[in-house]
Amino acid sequence: MDDPCTPSTEHVRAVYAAQHGAILTDEHGREFDRWLEQHDREQRAAASEAIESLRNTLALSSRDWNTYGDVAWLWGVLLGWEDDDEDYLPGVAAQWRWSEAQVARLRRLRAALVPYRLIG
């Protein structure tokens, strides 16, 4: 899945060439590409671990995450209000006066985290 916030390999190579005044040879370019792919995998793994830590903190807490709007938002993004009951999010949104645009954003943010989920 392409991440619009992550520069392409071609862009990174072009920036490297511009900064170092050299174009990567095919051999060095392939080596650089392998390094970049490994770095990307490591970054994604670290992000997955951080997100999973946040999710577990919320999920394993006895706190009522719908007591305040800001923490209800965190729950919605990290765990989703609709995982167990598809009709629950509209009630939460009404309680905190979230607009349709805010609910759509919450769903987008939640969907963006799906590739980083380690469990489920």
pLDDT at 25: 64
Residue 69 within any structural domain of the chain: yes
Domain-embedded: residue 75? yes
Between 18 and 24, whose confidence is greater? Answer: 18
pLDDT in tens, 36-79: 788 888 888 888 888 889 999 999 999 999 999 999 999 999 99
Number of structural domains the chain divides into: 1
Note the pLDDT of residue 26.
Answer: 66
Residue at token pair 């309680």: 95
Q: What's the mean pLDDT when you consider all of the chain? A: 82
Taking the model in full, what pTM does it have?
A: 0.65
15 inside domain: yes
Range of the domain at 105: 9-116
Question: Does residue 2 lie in a domain region?
Answer: no
Average pLDDT (29-38) is: 78
Do the domain assignments include residue 90? yes
